[in-house]
Amino acid sequence: MASHSAHAGVGIDWDARYVAGDTPWDKGAAHPALLARLKKLPIAGRVLVPGCGVGHDVRAIAAGGAAFVLGLDVAPSALNLARSYPKAGNECYQEGDFLTGNAVQPSSFDVLFEHTCLCAIPPERRADYVRAAAAALHDGGFLLAVFFTNPENPNPHSPPFRCDLAEMGLLFSDDFEIVKSSAAVPTYSEREGRETLCLLRKKTRPAMPLR
């Protein structure tokens, strides 16, 4: 398994951050945009949440009735905290590096929910993220993403990294199509106007002809 530093690409030991309680990205609850969507339309089927941290989003999706929700993270201390919460539904947690592309079985999920994972990895590894997301989803599966379009980070060499919407469109274009996007979404108070909720669908590949 790749080290935490290799995963972050910027020398960050994510597990140590959780041990020290130095986790400003953890707001203590699921993302407001996710909660708002779940009230209107529960997420069904098998769901993957990469970079799940202590699992707030995982539990919200599980409580909404999803058949199965897997929270994946490189930090065992985060996962220990996630497992300390009461079960909300059919959710579980697994340690693994999503960027390797082999942390989960191929084509085994209907939906992937993204929140603070993509913006935490360096831009040069984003292509690995897209490959892993496409591999995890079956054809026609959905990626529901909260892109941190303007993190207002004064340090360009450390996360969170900007996820420009036009760049995201190009980044995902080979494997996904954007179904809808909106910047007018509920979010945490300090992130208002700085995030965009996007729904992407994995493209269906034509079957290989028989020879």
What pLDDT, in 10s, does the model give residues 11-32?
A: 689 999 999 999 999 999 999 9
- pLDDT for res 59: 98
- Which residues, 6 or more positions from 70, have their beta carbon under 8 angstroms from its beta carbon? 46, 47, 48, 49, 58, 91, 92, 93, 94, 104, 109
- pLDDT for res 89: 98
Is pLDDT of 137 > 80? Answer: yes
Question: What's the rounded Cα separation, in Å, for the pair 90 and 111?
Answer: 15
pLDDT category at 173 given cuts 50, 70, 90 is: very high
- pLDDT for res 8: 38
Least confidently predicted of 36-45, 46-55, 102-111, 156-165: 156-165
What pLDDT, in 10s, does the model give residues 30-56?
A: 999 999 999 999 999 999 999 999 999
C-alpha dist (Å) from residue 133 to 83, 93, 190, 198, 201: 24, 17, 28, 15, 11
Average predicted confidence (pLDDT) for the chain: 90
Is pLDDT of 208 > 60? Answer: no
What mean pLDDT is predicted for residues 115-142? 95
- pLDDT for res 189: 84
* Helix axes of 32-40 and 56-63: crossing angle, nearest 10 degrees: 10
Q: Which domains does the chain have, with CATH numbers?
A: 4-21+34-202 (3.40.50.150)
* Helix axes of 165-172 and 126-136: crossing angle, nearest 10 degrees: 50
